[in-house]
Amino acid sequence: MQKNPLASKVALVTGSARRIGAEIARTLHQAGMNIVLHYNLSEEGALGLCQQLNHIREHSAVTLRADLLEAESEKILIQQALDAWGRLDALVNNASRFYSTPIGEVTEYAWDDLMNSNLKAPFFLCQAAASALAAVQGCIVNITDIHAERPLRNYSVYCISKSGLLMMTRLLAKELGPRVRVNAVAPGAILWPEGKNTLSEEEKAKIVDQTALQRAGSPEDIAKAVLFFIRDAGYVTGQVLDVDGGRGTCN
């Protein structure tokens, strides 16, 4: 019987208490990995998911809280993950913020908030994790966005931050190779925005109509792409995989 290549390996997934991050954590756990569930404000969701994973397989998940906008928080989080498991094989930079910033209304707060959340924090997490990942020939998967390359009207700062994350992926693939692979997954229409960014049914239908597959995707689609980069893509680095139902080919 062939040994599971991910058995006992460790993945840190940022923003893993809910939505896409939670599904990534479940999928990597199901594949055999031990999981560090990072959260900031969503404590209830993180603790609940951790309990579920540990019920499936004892001592296979831990939660760590960190506000990634605080100075030195990235170093502390990586060290806590290493303290918990003694190793780190994969870092998934999923935590992100998304809200509109129409030109003419952009504030310095919004600029700093989005850039720090979506670009600065992932960069410093990668930097803090680099030596631990290199020690086990690990990998990094960044969750970008199809709008890193195709601008979304009224979301200027968000798009700029995700574009930076895409360049960071390619840059770090070169900087951290050959011992660390760095790739990215770019979701399209997967989960609809919440809160003030909620879309009308008409807006959702228009987006779906722009895809070749004529349907929205699911968090599982993103999680499977992340798993591919971690488990099956040993000779792939510096790449971005659009998971968008063919939306890019139709526009």
pLDDT digits (tens, 9 = 90+) for 152-169: 899 999 999 999 999 999
The pLDDT assigned to 42 comes to 93
Contact 183, 91 (CB under 8 A): no
Catalytic site residue from 109, 155, 158, 235:
158
Which domains does the chain carry?
Answer: 10-242 (3.40.50.720)
Q: Of the given ranges (19-23, 37-41, 75-79, 199-203), which has the lowest mean pLDDT?
A: 199-203
**Would you place residue 192 in the very low, low, confident or very high pLDDT band (cuts 50, 70, 90)?**
low
Q: What is the pLDDT of residue 1?
A: 57
Tell me what the pLDDT averaged over the chain comes to: 92
For the stretch 139-151, pLDDT in tens is 999 999 999 999 9
Q: 0.85 exceeded by the pTM?
A: yes
The question of whether 99 is a catalytic residue gets the answer: no
CA distance 34 to 36: 7
Give the distance from CA 103 to its chain's centroid. Answer: 27
pLDDT number for residue 205: 74
Predicted pLDDT of residue 201: 72
* pLDDT at res. 116: 96
What pLDDT is recorded for position 193?
66
